[in-house]
Chain A
Amino acid sequence: MDDHQKLVKDCLKNDPLAQKQLYELFSEPMLGVCYRYTKSIQDAEEVLQQGFIKVFRYLHQYAMQGDLGAWVRRIMVNTAINYLKRKPRYQLDLSFEDTHLHPVTAYEPEMNLNRKDLLNLVRQLPPGYQTIFNLHAVEGYTHVEISKIMGISEGTSRSQYARARALLIQWLEKYSGNEKKDMYGR
C-alpha cells in the first residue's frame, strides 16, 4: 500500500516514469475488465486508454485510502459503461419487449468450461445483459447501485440480470452437451 501511495504521489508530480509504472501495474487486469464489457479487443483497448487518461486526470481525487486497484477498476467500469452508452453500435437498449424475453431459471449448470470459453459466452450476451451481468455477477454491484449507474429502475436491473443469467445457463448447457458429443464421438 505504501508503494502505491508513493507511486500515486510521483504520478501527481507528473513523473512520466511513475505514470508508466502505474500503467504497467494495472493495464493487464484492467484490460481484462474492459474486455468483459466490450465486443472486441480494439474497443476494450480504447476503453482502457480512455480509462487510464481519466485515472491520471483524477488521480488527485484518490484519497490514499483503500485499494488503489479497486479505485482504478471502478473508473474503468464507469468508462466502459460510458463508452457503451456513447457508441451506437452497442445499442444499449435496456427496454425489453415480449419477443426478447428469455426464461428465468434457478438451475445451475455444471461449470466445465474454461475461463476463455466462459468469457466468450458472457461477451456474446446482448450488450444490456452483458453489462448488467458483469456489474452484478463479477463486480459485485448491487441492483440499487446498478440502477443508479445505468439510469434504470432497480426492478429492470433485477429482471435483466435474471434473464441474462438464464440465457447464459442455456448456452452453458448447450455448450456442455456439444462438448460431450465431441468427447464421445457421436
Chain B
Amino acid sequence: MADRSFEQKVKEELADLRIKPDASVWIGVASELRKEKKRRWFIWLMLLLAGCGTASIWTYFQFRQPAPLAENGKMAAIVKPVTTSQSSIPNEKEKVNPVKGVAIKPENAIVLNGTHREKNTFSWQATVDKRNAKSVEPSNQTVTVHTGIDQEPAKQKELAMVGNHVSEEKKIEEVSMNGTSQDKQVFKDSLQLITHEEKQIAQTIVDTPQQVLENLTPTLIKAIVQAPKKWNWNIHLAAGYGNTITALLPAGKSGNDVYASSPSTGVGGPGSIGTPGGGGLQTASGGGGRTAAFSFNAGVEMSKLIGKRNRLGMVIDYSFYQTNATVGNRIDSTSYFSSVNLYNRNGYYYNNGSSVNYREQYHFLTAGLAAVFPARLFKQLQMRWQVGAGLQFLIASNGLQYDAATNRFFRNNSLIPKIQPRLSFGFDFGIGKQSLFYVGPYWQYTTANLAGAGTDKRHLVLSALKLSYILPEKKNKVQR
C-alpha cells in the first residue's frame, strides 16, 4: 500500500510531463517522410523493372527456337565428298560437327544462312555461300544434310531436317539423299512446308549440287543473307577503383588536388574536405582527403543487332562505389546544420580534421542503354567499343556532407540526388575463338553532384577492368 502511494506520487508528477521540442525535430521527421515517399516510388520502379526483366527472360526462353547454327546464327548444309559405294546413312563414327569444322573443310562446305521467323516453324531462307560452293567438285558427290533436332514434335523434326539444323557434336543426325528411299521421302515431304522458291533450292541442293551453283545469283544471295536479329544476353563485372572528381573535363580540378579553406574558420589546407569553396579536398600530403577505393559494377545487358554489326541494348546493373576520406574526431551527438537547413539524423558527426579514416560507400541500381561497336584488330582480335548512358538510383549511402557554418561533416542522404544520370565508356577484346568473353578497360561517370551543400562539386567515377560474358544460345538436343 505504502509502495503504491509512492508510485502514485511519482506518476502524478511525471506522467504528464510536457516539453516543447525544438523546431528541427519536425524538420527531421518531415524530411524522413518525404524520403520514404520517394523510397516507395523507387521500390515500385524497381519492382516494375524486375518484372519487365523477368518477363523478358521468360519470353526469351519460352519463345526461343532451336538455333539454326551454333555459331553466328548460320545454318549449314554440308557437301561432303562421298563415293557411290558409300553407305547412304553415315554411321556413328562419321558424324561430324560442321560448325566447328572438325571434319568438314571449308572447301567442302556449303553454308546456308537463315533465320527463324515464327515460333515452332522452321521457315527459313536458304542460300549457298557461293565462294565456298564454287570449290565443290560436282562430280561423284552427294549432299549430306546434317540435322540436329530439338525435342520437338515430329513435324518439327522433319522441318529441322530440311533446315539442316546443326547441333552438338555426336548428336547430329545425317540424312543422305542418295540413301534409302524412305529417307528421301521423309526429306521431300518436309519440303512441302517451305516456300516454293526455297523448296527449289533445297531440292536442288539435294539432287544436284552443280545445279545449285547455277541457280545461285548474286541477287538471291543479297536478298537472303542476313543475320538473325535476336536478343543477345551478356553479364558483366567491372572491378576497379572509385573516386570523386569535380568535373569530367580536365579543366575541373580533381577533388584530391584542391586545397580549400574552411569558410567558418578561414583556415585552409589540410583537414578540410568537401568545403564549399571548390572541391574542398586536400592532398594526401596534407594528411587527409578523398582517395580512390575498391569499387565495382555488375549487371546484365540484352542487346539487339542494329544494322549489320552494331548492337544497341538495355543494361540493368548494380554499382558499388567507395572512396576513402579522412575527417576529424567523431562526436556522438545530434546537431542542426543551418547551412543546409537539415538535421543530423545519424546521432553523430565528424569534426574537420584528419584523424579518422572514413570510407564512403554508395550503392546504386542503374537502368540504361548501351551501344556496342565491334571492330577487328589484326584480322584476328575481336574488339568492341562501348558507350552507354543511364540513370542511377541511389539505394543507400553513408557519404558525408559538409556544413560550412559549423565546419563539420555529417550524414544526410537527402542531400544526395536519388536519381543520377550516368555516362559510361569502354572498349574490350574478345578472348578465344568464339569470343564469348570480352575484357577491357571501362569508365563510369555520374553527372549529378553528390555534394548537396554549398557550391562544392563531387561526381562519382569508376575506373575499372570489365569482364563480359556473352551467354551462348541454347544448343539443340537430338531426338532419336
Contacts and interface: CB of A to CB of B under 8 A. Distances in A.
Contacts of A46: 334, 347
B14 A28 contact: no
A20 interface: yes
A33 interface: yes
Interface in A11-36: 14, 16, 19-20, 23, 27-29, 31-33, 35-36
Size class of the A contact interface (CB-based, 8 Å): 35 or more
Interface string A82-101: 00000101000000000000
A29 B18 contact: yes
B33 A19 contact: yes
Nearest to A115: B13
Interface in A88-127: 89, 106, 108, 111, 113, 115, 118-119, 122
Size class of the B contact interface (CB-based, 8 Å): 20 to 34
Contact of A137 (B11, B20, B36, B332): B11
A108 B2 contact: yes
A119 B37 CA distance: 38
A118 B37 contact: no
Interface stretch (B21-29, B74-82, B449-457): B21-29
Interface of B: 2-3, 5-7, 9-11, 13-22, 24-26, 28-30, 32-33, 36-37, 332-334, 343, 345, 347
Given A20-B26, A32-B16, 13 more contacts: A14-B33, A14-B37, A16-B30, A27-B21, A28-B18, A35-B17, A53-B29, A87-B332, A106-B3, A108-B2, A119-B17, A138-B15, A165-B6
29 contacts: A14-B37, A20-B26, A20-B30, A27-B20, A28-B20, A29-B17, A31-B19, A31-B20, A35-B19, A36-B17, A42-B333, A44-B19, A45-B21, A45-B22, A46-B334, A48-B21, A49-B343, A52-B25, A56-B29, A89-B332, A106-B2, A108-B6, A111-B13, A115-B13, A115-B14, A115-B17, A119-B14, A138-B10, A138-B15
Interface of A: 14, 16, 19-20, 23, 27-29, 31-33, 35-36, 41-46, 48-49, 52-53, 56-57, 87, 89, 106, 108, 111, 113, 115, 118-119, 122, 136-138, 140, 165, 169
